[in-house]
Amino acid sequence: MARKFTIEEFFETLKKYNVEELEGVRIEGDLEIEIEPGSGIDANLINAVAMLSNYMQLIQEFGNFLYHANMALSYLQRLSSALGIQMPLVVQPQVQPAVEVKPEKIPEFKIPEKLISAKFEPYKVEYPGKIEEVTLGATRADGGTRETTVTIGGEKSLAFYTFDAMNEYMPAIAIDVFDRKPMLAKAVREHYQDVLEDPAEWAKKAVKEFNADLVTIHLISTDPMLEDTPASEAVKVIEDILQAVKVPLIIGGSGNKEKDPEVLEKAAEVTEGERVMLASATLDMDWERIGNAAKNHGHVILSWTQMDINNQKTLNRYLLKRVGIDRNSLVMDPTTAALGYGLDYAYTNMERIRISGLKGDTDLNFPMSSGTTNAWGAREAWMIDSPIEGDTPWGPRELRGPIWEIVTGMTLALAGVDLFMMMHPGAVAVLKEWMGMLQGIVKESIENVDDWITMEV
Amino acid sequence: MKVKSPLEVYKFLPQTNCGECGFDTCMSFAAQIIDRSVKPTDCPPLVENAKKDKKFEKKLNELISLTSPEILEVEIGVGDNAIKIGGEDVLHRHELTFFNPTAFFFDVYDTMDEEQIHERCSKVVEYRKFYVGDFITLEGIAVRCTSNDPEKFRSVVKKVSEYGKPMVLISMNPECMRAALEEVADQKPLIYAATEKNWKEFLQLALEFKVPVTVRSKDLTILKSLAKTFRENGVRDIVLDPVTEPIGDGLRGTFERVIQLRRTAILGEDKDVAYPIMITPISAWLIEGDEITKGYWETVLASTFIVKYADVMIFKNLEQYTVMPSVILRYNIYTDPRTPVQVEPGLREINNPSPDDPVFVTTNFALTYYTVESDLTSGNIKCWLLVLDTEGLGVEVSVAGGQFTAAKVKDLIKETGIEKKVNHRYLTIPGLAARLQGAIEDETGWTVLVGPMDSGRIKGWLEQQWPPEKKE
């Protein structure tokens, strides 16, 4: 919290919790403490610094074991009770009784006796089109080994406009897994620290602890600029993950234009029958080869373009008409930019695509996927503080990062995204909770919605 | 706006091409009206004629009503700090643009201790977030009456007014509201709120003190009836509060009400609900949980309705993890999609560089450019910055999309004459463009260094990498 504490307040707090000694305290590298000249540095201060460092760690450690509860609110509540330790108590002000005031002379206006009655009649909107339904994953009955499948799409109205038409499927969330240690923001990394070397364990954690509906395995080690793992070698990890988790899989390459077609083709082969999603075919890659790999092995293809509705139309047509992909086997990724870093383009591009699809454009009426993890590229999500002189301080990044991913995801959910690829477990939980409410699944409301007007908080 | 083409506007203009409005022809002035960059009253002859002649006055008024926004524009506050809310014309930003960004008000209450009130008001006044070449600020302060004591409310409102920010005054008690208005009505605060119970007294207050008023009901027929009653009795500036329910089915209902109101106003042309909409993310503080839970949920509510049609909001949390994402999302959603956010390509000299100083290259996407430029400037880094024309795309997207190429970098080096300005041949490219390193070296003959992924880290990077070790 961006609140300043004196050392005295610190020790008051410590006393309150019967803390006499601090053990095993580690000071994080990025923690910065400013000491004003003349404040008199002594042993007490050093202790206080140690306490601060401990508090930063507390936030992280709480995060590590609290995800079993799938309620986002309880997650947040507990996360912050870690912080709450040093919050000063709020003093309840006294309620003062109402005082009668005699009004002076009031100008006369003609005030009617009754309200003019005016019935509100909502304007109705109906679209001729419908978004295609796409099912990911296959159970034994359908020739696969998954225990659950995920169906997305099927919308007949804008996202969460349940009053226009009830959309049957809620957007799904996949958690990203990498086949080698990737570069991750600290607030994300600390949740996966124990599984970074083991993609199968990573996938398991994503499903069991963080409630992922699907898992995305990114085969980034195949990148010629990194390990250049041969395709046949790289796909072995997929088999481990198929064993480790029973949810549907998304398989991504490294983004290398030359290598990806080969890698994804091999991945399609070894997952025959599982109905995975291959991520992705792009216009500047051999989309025909990747498309054929999906088609020949019964998988779904992700059609990825760079924020251009016309390119999206073109690539979809190629995949549908030239490759012969079934209409129920195509998902689009129109590209996700982070909050503050092009989100306006991403939002409007997706919103236009969705509206076109609903209006009957059969080149665009497919479910959409978002690489929401891109939110972590925003410096506001991970940097220790603003590099700009004159900025109001940014506050603890442990709280900034997840919300950056949440707001990026929410905005694009409102544009019509059906499938999110995410990383921070707190962000996954909050987005799910919020979507569940708008979808009408999470029903519990509160009664006294006027109380904020007079609450003394 | 009822008219869609400049021709329809042109009919109403003097058609003399006098140029007094600052445009060469009446037709181009008409096009500006359609764009909403000027108003009919910006045509001096039109205004002059209307003063003299009833017939012209009628014509001008007709043009004003044809070209006025679908949603009423309401002003809160006075002077330089006054803000406009509403004034929207479309449901989706790509259809034109959204105009007046959601105004953010942060609360204090009259039983809060003085020091805390001062602290919160100062935070609102002093807030700065650097973004795309400028600092984002916060709009105003909402004062809640928790004492139910008119005199207490009066004195606190008066004190808060001294901070010079637009205000929302919050009390359901007309006596308390009257006391506050007696003090600050001339500052044109928005009053909150008239309901089915107190509307008569609030109608009296709105008329007497000439201030904008919020009407509040969960039932949209009552809400519409309140708005219609106020309008027909002489109140112009109305704001609709369809009641923010923070969670569960209540949130779903709030979402429905907001969308139905705005859609019925714009597509259904229902003028009785064509007013700005109020959302209260502060309602998140009614849910179970502690401060961080509530703060997070406040952001969730704000984000939902920044994207979907809220024109004014009341917040509690002043912590950056709530405020920063909210102000940035608002900025993004209200950015005009018609104008590409680009800067001029070319060479920029940062902090008076010498021939020994490093050369960086970045893109002409405004956000990228201003981020890099401000990092270099505020980090006191002397350098030469080459701005590449990537058609307004950021580094990552332009490298993938082929707008950031070695050939274009070569042309830029030539055009800017940077070779004559520095006495070395080292070019630093963004970390996100690392894959172009070899190609740019081949194309330009310069030695290409790969900089950090984020320009905020250039300072530390330079300490390690500059001056570069000479290659043998």
For residue A404, give the 3-state DSSP assignment: helix
Expressed as residue numbers, the domain containing B382 is 346-465
B179 and B133 within one domain:
yes
B86 and B126 within one domain:
yes
- pLDDT confidence of residue A8: 53
B408 and B287 within one domain:
no
Last residue of a domain, one of B52, B67, B82: B67
For residue A309, give the 3-state DSSP assignment: helix
Looking at A282-399, which runs of residues are DSSP E strands?
A: 300-304, 330-333, 369-370
Q: Does the beta-carbon distance from A455 to B246 stay under 8 Å?
A: no
Residues B204/A101, Cβ–Cβ less than 8 Å: no
Q: How is the beta sheet containing B213-216 ordered, strand by strand?
A: B238-241, B213-216, B190-194, B167-170, B140-144, B103-109, B312-315, B278-279
- pLDDT confidence of residue A158: 98
Bridge partners of residue A216, in order along the sequence: A176, A250
Sketch out chain A's domains with CATH numbers.
7-65 (no CATH), 133-439 (3.20.20.20)
Q: How many residues does chain B have?
A: 472
Residue of chain A nearest B308, judged by CA positions? A414
Residues B313/B70, Cβ–Cβ less than 8 Å: no
Structure tokens at A257: 């234009």
Residues B431/B364, Cβ–Cβ less than 8 Å: no
- pLDDT confidence of residue A99: 55
Q: pLDDT band at B362, cuts 50/70/90?
A: very high
**Is position B341 within any domain?**
no
CB-based contacts of A87-93 (< 8 A; 24+ apart in sequence): A87/A1, A87/A3, A87/B291, A88/A3, A88/A9, A90/A457, A91/B113, A92/A456, A93/A456, A93/B111, A93/B112, A93/B113, A93/B146
Q: Are strands B213-216 and B359-363 parallel, antiparallel or unpaired?
A: unpaired
Residues B121/B138, Cβ–Cβ less than 8 Å: no
Residues of chain A with C-beta less than 8 angstroms from the C-beta of B185: none
Reduced 3-state DSSP string for chain B? CCCCCHHHHHCCCCCCCCCCCCCCCHHHHHHHHHHCCCCHHHCHHHHHHHHHCHHHHHHHHHHHHHHCCCCCEEEECCHHHCEEEECCCCCCHHHCCCCCCCEEEEEEECCCCHHHHHHHHHHHHHCCEEECCEEECCCEEEEECCCCCHHHHHHHHHHHHCCCCCEEEECCCHHHHHHHHHHHHHHCCEEEEECCCCHHHHHHHHHHHCCCEEEECCCHHHHHHHHHHHHHCCCCCEEEECCCCCCHHHHHHHHHHHHHHHHHHHCCCCHHHCCCEEECHHHHHHCCCCHHHHHHHHHHHHHHHHHCCCCEEEECCCCHHHHHHHHHHHHHHHCCCCCCCECCCEEEEECCCCCCCCEEEEECEHHHHHHHHHHHHHCCCCEEEEEECCCCCCHHHHHHHCCCCHHHHHHHHHHHCHHHHCCCCEEEECHHHHHHHHHHHHHHCCEEEECCCCHHHHHHHHHHHCCCCCCC
Residue of chain A nearest B113, judged by CA positions? A93
B227 and B320 within one domain:
yes
Pick from A324, A318, A377, A323: nearest CA to A346: A377
B108 and B198 within one domain:
yes
- pLDDT confidence of residue A14: 47
Q: pLDDT band at B397, cuts 50/70/90?
A: confident
Hey, is the C-beta of A84 within 8 angstroms of any chain B C-beta? yes
For residue A243, give the 3-state DSSP assignment: helix
- pLDDT confidence of residue A103: 53
Using CB atoms within 10 Å of the CB of residue A92, give its burial: 0 to 12 exposed, 13 to 18 middle, 19+ buried: exposed
**Is position B167 within any domain?**
yes
Last residue of a domain, one of B22, B48, B67: B67
What is the per-residue pLDDT across A87-113, written as a single tens digit (0 to 9) for each? 333 334 445 555 555 555 666 789 999
What average pLDDT score do residues B284-305 get? 96
Which DSSP helix (H) or strand (E) runs through A345?
A: helix A343-358
HSE-up of A421 (CA within 13 Å, CB side)?
A: 25
Residues B242/B310, Cβ–Cβ less than 8 Å: no
- pLDDT confidence of residue B92: 97
What is the per-residue pLDDT across A261-283, written as a single tens digit (0 to 9) for each? 999 999 999 999 999 999 999 99
Using CB atoms within 10 Å of the CB of residue A197, give its burial: 0 to 12 exposed, 13 to 18 middle, 19+ buried: exposed
**CATH code for the domain of B431:** 3.40.50.11600
Q: Does the beta-carbon distance from A399 to B292 stay under 8 Å?
A: yes
The residues, ordered by sequence, that sit 6+ positions from B456 with a Cβ below 8 Å of its Cβ are: A379, A383, A387, B375
Instruction: Tell me which amino acid residue A366 is.
Output: F
What average pLDDT score do residues A227-246 get? 97
B35 and B85 within one domain:
no
Nearest-angstrom CA–CA distance, B270 and A446: 31
Cis amide leading into B310 (omega within 30): no
Which of B273, B290, B394 lies nearest to residue A120, judging by beta carbons?
A: B273
Rounded to 5 degrees, φ, ψ at A452 are -65, -25
Structure tokens at B41: 């009253």
Q: Does the beta-carbon distance from B225 to A79 stay under 8 Å?
A: no
What is the per-residue pLDDT across A291-342, written as a single tens digit (0 to 9) for each? 999 999 999 999 999 888 999 999 999 999 999 999 999 999 999 999 998 8
Q: pLDDT band at B213, cuts 50/70/90?
A: very high
Which of B150, B268, B331 lies nearest to residue A123, judging by beta carbons?
A: B268
How far, CA to CA in Å, does B396 sit from each of A247, B258, B362, B430? Answer: 32, 37, 11, 9
Which of B173, B379, B401 lies nearest to residue A306, judging by beta carbons?
A: B401
- To test the contact with chain B by mutation, choose from A343, A382, A385, A407 the residue with the greatest count of B C-beta atoms within 10 A, namely A407
B122 and B10 within one domain:
no
What is the per-residue pLDDT across A14-70, written as a single tens digit (0 to 9) for each? 455 554 444 433 334 343 334 344 444 444 444 444 444 444 444 443 333 333 333
Torsion of CA A16, A19, A20, A26, to 10 degrees: -140
Residue A392 has pLDDT above 90, yes or no: yes
- pLDDT confidence of residue A59: 43
**CATH code for the domain of B261:** 3.20.20.20
B79 and B63 within one domain:
no
Rounded to 5 degrees, φ, ψ at B428 are -105, 125
Query: Any idea which of A1-15, B83-97, B322-336, B442-456 has the lowest mean pLDDT?
Result: A1-15
**Is position B112 within any domain?**
yes
What is the per-residue pLDDT across A196-214, written as a single tens digit (0 to 9) for each? 999 999 999 999 999 999 9
Pick from A286, A387, A280, A369: nearest CA to A333: A369
The number of C-beta contacts closer than 8 angstroms across A and B is 311
Q: Does the beta-carbon distance from B367 to A340 stay under 8 Å?
A: yes
Q: Does the beta-carbon distance from A342 to B367 stay under 8 Å?
A: yes
DSSP secondary structure of A161-205? -TTT---S---EEEEEEESSPPP--HHHHHHHTTTTT-HHHHHHH
DSSP letter at A246 equals: -
Domain total in chain B: 3
The residues, ordered by sequence, that sit 6+ positions from A112 with a Cβ below 8 Å of its Cβ are: B229, B233
Residues of chain B with C-beta less than 8 angstroms from the C-beta of A389: 378
**ipTM summary value:** 0.87
**Residue of A364 and A387 predicted with greater confidence:** A364
**Is position B312 within any domain?**
yes
**Is position B458 within any domain?**
yes
Hey, is the C-beta of A373 within 8 angstroms of any chain B C-beta? no
Hey, is the C-beta of A457 within 8 angstroms of any chain B C-beta? yes
Residues of chain B with C-beta less than 8 angstroms from the C-beta of A454: 144-146, 148
B365 and B318 within one domain:
no
What is the per-residue pLDDT across B229-264, written as a single tens digit (0 to 9) for each? 999 999 999 999 999 999 999 999 999 999 999 999
Hey, is the C-beta of A306 within 8 angstroms of any chain B C-beta? yes
B58 and B116 within one domain:
no
Q: pLDDT band at B181, cuts 50/70/90?
A: very high
**Is position B327 within any domain?**
yes
Hey, is the C-beta of A141 within 8 angstroms of any chain B C-beta? no
Last residue of a domain, one of B19, B42, B67: B67
Q: C-alpha angle with apex B391: B385 to B397, nearest 5 degrees?
A: 85
Residue B343 has pLDDT above 80, yes or no: yes
Pick from B99, B166, B169, B136: nearest CA to B309: B99
Nearest-angstrom CA–CA distance, A284 and A434: 37
Residue of chain B nearest A102, judged by CA positions? B175
What is the per-residue pLDDT across A215-231, written as a single tens digit (0 to 9) for each? 999 999 999 989 999 99
**CATH code for the domain of B52:** 1.10.15.40
Nearest-angstrom CA–CA distance, B40 and B449: 55
DSSP letter at A147 equals: S
Q: Does the beta-carbon distance from B255 to A438 stay under 8 Å?
A: yes
Structure tokens at B442: 């081949």
B41 and B138 within one domain:
no
Q: Does the beta-carbon distance from A341 to B401 stay under 8 Å?
A: no
- To test the contact with chain A by mutation, choose from B96, B231, B286, B338 the residue with the greatest count of A C-beta atoms within 10 A, namely B286
End-to-end CA distance of chain B: 69
B149 and B33 within one domain:
no
Residue B135 has pLDDT above 90, yes or no: yes
Residue B90 has pLDDT above 70, yes or no: yes
- pLDDT confidence of residue A96: 53
Residues of chain A with C-beta less than 8 angstroms from the C-beta of B170: 453
Nearest-angstrom CA–CA distance, B125 and B140: 8
Nearest-angstrom CA–CA distance, A69 and A87: 25
**Residue of B96 and A45 predicted with greater confidence:** B96
Pick from B194, B280, B291: nearest CA to B245: B280
**Is position B1 within any domain?**
no
Place of tokens 């930019």: A337
Which DSSP helix (H) or strand (E) runs through A422?
A: strand A419-422
Instruction: Tell me which amino acid residue A34 is.
Output: E
**Is position B53 within any domain?**
yes
